[in-house]
Structure 1
């Protein structure tokens, strides 16, 4: 039997949590192991339950989601947090990612896309909706010392790069290029090292800023 992904739901609206629980647990491979109604509860439950993925809202009483993300990551650097919020403002998005979230999805996202985003965060990937990706790009300031990707990446890595920017999973990239998921992961790890970035989001933003690929034609 495949081990289920253990999820902590964090949202200050009980009806939202109930709906999310019903939807996610209907997927078969996802299991809700706890619920928190504010940021303080979120930190307490995250440290006690050690869930595989934390699904975090931003606007909550007592302690907001961004502060909760920061506090959780300080205590558990390995925590995998996916933001699910109605906010699409630059400040909330950027601060959430800086605090330690691995992904950011808007509440208008479909249930299948949300479940897939949870699986991808669990796998260490960085899912973003197209709008969120654009917001992050808009806030980035170029630096003169950044590596030029066209010079430091191999031909194969430059083939993988636009697929990373599009937000494809390692599995989907492998299927498109005819290579294994493990090989894709190795390539992306090497790409991040050469680009001197810490995650796929930063790699994607660097690629877009340097004009190597266009980003997201759809919303």
Structure 2
């Protein structure tokens, strides 16, 4: 978990004398309030809003255009990477910072490919979030140091045979991610704004690629690879 704000000693330089607005979206109230306290304690940052659902987060980003949006990877109601995709399609200026308990290469790559400006582990220290803010406001990309960015984009000779997740398309991986978190097909369709039939097609395709024949098998596969949220 992020350290309490009163334990933080790092000072992040803020460009010019400007106050940057921040939206915080997480379905856990305690996490939201802790992040808000952390941000408000720093000069140059103002929390303009908090929410617990993906659809609300997208509406606030679209209408209010905060400088930064801090989003949990698994927001209910609308999948977080779908929010990222739409924000990028609309060419909105908000920098998107995603927080997650998941650290597998495929998740990080898909998030960055969708257009997030920063990907942080929730298990990381508080100062990394503030470092990420400074980096993305300067137009950069930030990934938690624990994830070893060089290995993410240069995995060596690792093949699809060694990691079958590499066979999945972006949409298939989104469906996979939600299935292993226990989300039913109908809700997956709502979160991704797809038809239930399309979700069934993606599910059948990803199961064929992974050579797994039921959802229980997918969950077992995900647990073995530490791909499920540890809330």
TM-score normalised by L of structure 2 = 0.56
Task: Give 1:138 shift.
Answer: 4.5
Distance in 1 between residues matched to 2:154 and 2:27, nearest whole Å: 30
| CA 1:55–1:140: 2 relative to 1, 3 Å | farther
Task: Give 1:43 shift.
Answer: 0.7
Structure 2 gaps of 5+ residues are 1-15, 158-231
Name which structure has the greater RCO, CA cutoff 8 Å, separation 6+.
2
Q: Quick one: which of 17, 20, 30 aligns to 1:15?
A: 30
Does residue 90 in structure 1 map to residue 83 in structure 2?
no
| CA 1:39–1:138: 2 relative to 1, 3 Å | farther
Structure 1 gaps of 5+ residues are 142-219
CA distances 1:124-154 after superposition (whole Å, capped 9, x unpaired): 111112233155224589xxxxxxxxxxxxx
Aligned equivalent of 2:184: none
Aligned equivalent of 1:136: 152
Distance in 2 between residues matched to 1:23 and 1:118, nearest whole Å: 12
* Secondary structure class of the residue paired with 1:113: helix
8 A contact 2:65–2:92 mirrored in 1: no
Aligned pairs, how many? 142
Aligned equivalent of 1:108: 123
8 A contact 2:98–2:118 mirrored in 1: yes
Aligned equivalent of 1:81: 96
TM-score normalised by L of structure 1 = 0.59
**Aligned alpha-carbon RMSD (Å):** 2.2
8 A contact 1:8–1:51 mirrored in 2: yes
Distance in 2 between residues matched to 1:140 and 1:23, nearest whole Å: 38
Aligned equivalent of 1:167: none
Q: Quick one: which of 51, 63, 74 aligns to 2:66?
A: 51
